[in-house]
Chains A and B, each alone.
Chain A
Amino acid sequence: MSDIKNAVLSYVKNEYLEEDDDREINFDTPLISGGIVDSFSMVSLKRFLETKYNIQISDAKATPEAFDTVNNIINLLKEFNVQ
């Protein structure tokens, strides 16, 4: 599971931080409520998870809360038996 956690964290850093953005992001950093991932950009994260783990996340499950931290995302992945 730590591999998955690190892969998601790494994706978030690469995708959402600019080169000169030195904000620290850890597994509990609020991504959406913290303003790192805006609602317009959430689709990339959803598509990344779907492609990498071969799952389909319905709109009902792809809520801002479910995507708000890496740990929340990991909990969501567990529902798809990705561990």
Chain B
Amino acid sequence: MAFNNEVRNIYQQELDIIRSGGIFKEERIICAPQNSEIEVEFPIGSIHKKVINICANNYLGLSSHPDVVEAAHKGLDRRGYGMSSVRFICGTQDIHKELEHKLAKFLGTEDTILFPSCMDANAGVFEAVLSEQDVMIADRLVHASIVDGMRLCKAMTDTYKHSDMAHLEEKLQLHAKMRFRLIITDGSFSMDGDLAKLDKIVELAEKYNAMVFVDDSHASGFIGKTGRGTHEHCGVLGKIDIITTTLGKALGGASGGCVSGRKELVELCRQKARPYLFSNTIPPVVVSGAIKVIDLISSTTERRDKLEKNTIFWRKGLTEAGLIIKEGETPIVPVMLFNAILSQDFAKELYEEGIYAVGFFFPVVPKGQARIRTQLSAAHDLHHLEKALAAFTKVGKKFDILHKTKQEIIDRFGM
């Protein structure tokens, strides 16, 4: 079918519906390396504006760290730019194996396999290790990439209410006759910033003979005393059967992901996972930077400790200012505004004040739970956070939502 005007109009109407619904997403152009302070061109064509970035996944501030950049440069010089091959033909270098070994050691697992992204890791892992005889039991708030991966797998699916251990136990009992039960959860939930109860989950897994899968993308590098992740925080190192995580957030922030865990499961991914089999892996320049990242965070906890201090300061500051935040202990701190339009207007006003944050609304979060998701970084210094806090307070006053209840905000702005 030709892409004629009739077809074009149908697509344009769909775009118009998104725009008129107030949920049209626009990219803002960053004209500087990723950091706590960036230059942004927004709207496109406008003069560059210097702003404090409070919405990046740059938790450890390593995205533009000089040692990481230098290591990436060296990697480019020594191992070239591209591989022009998938891993199992001629796309595996010594540095890919080195990074896999270092990740397994860091995460406390038996083996690791790299993927082009964690989205790809999640898309490929379930289909590779489960069959029709098995069941996947997922927390209802798992990341979209897990949902997509589950769709690609032939195993039965079921869900449990978010972090509801009694409900999970019911499901484990319900599926007692299946060959394998795989409990699936995020380690740190990306929208609410809460942590999975991995200690309880492992306890139930042992009681009901189930395996455990954790996507620790928003935890690897900084959650837990030495930053190993949610499994370290919950005291279950070595007890998680499959961990997926990303190199695109705290661990340098470039790209790439992995499946890490029991060696037989990792090996099955090498044999069967389609995003691994049919796509080039991470390029040498990124692998070289990521190796430096793992070396840095294995030698000192300085950066995750600073992030922890920043998180405590920020959570306390927002609460005292009278804003509603989602309780928790992670550097993901959602400021709840409930109404989608308000979340966007609030973000625009913050931008005017020199603070870069983004409103999140349906379908990224449920209807009536719109928010600004703030994310702390070890690259933030106290003066950044003080300025950001002053801006949140000023904009909060302008919209008259400080020290108001959820119901009061909803009554004024709607769901």
Contacts and interface: CB of A to CB of B under 8 A. Distances in A.
B171 interface: yes
A18 B171 contact: no
Contacts of B158: 40-41, 43-44
B78 interface: no
A40 B139 CA distance: 11
A68 to B, nearest CB: 18
Contacts, number: 22
Nearest to B366: A21
Interface string A39-82: 11101100100000000000000000000000000000000000
A38 B144 CA distance: 13
A37 to B, nearest CB: 10
Nearest to A48: B174
B174 A40 contact: no
A53 B138 CA distance: 26
Contact of B138 (A18, A39, A40, A44): A40
B162 A18 contact: yes
A47 B159 CA distance: 13
Contacts of A40: 138, 147, 150, 157-159
A44 B150 contact: no
Interface residues of B, number: 12
The B interface, classified by DSSP as helix, strand, loop or mixed, is mixed
Which secondary structure dominates chain A's binding surface?
loop
A11 B235 CA distance: 35
A43 B181 CA distance: 14
Nearest to B140: A41
Contacts of B140: 41
Most chain B beta-carbon contacts within 10 A, residue among A18, A38, A40: A40
Interface string A8-22: 000000000010000
B161 interface: yes
A44 B174 contact: yes
B156 interface: yes
Contacts of A39: 157
A40 B147 CA distance: 9
A33 to B, nearest CB: 16
A39 B138 CA distance: 13
Contacts of B138: 40
Interface in B145-167: 147, 150, 156-159, 161-162
A57 B147 CA distance: 25
A38 B140 CA distance: 10
A18 B159 CA distance: 13
A18 to B, nearest CB: 6
A6 to B, nearest CB: 21
B228 to A, nearest CB: 30
A43 B161 contact: no
5 contacts: A18-B162, A41-B140, A41-B158, A43-B158, A44-B159
The 5 A-B pairs at the shortest CB distance, nearest first, are namely: A40-B157, A41-B159, A43-B158, A40-B159, A47-B174
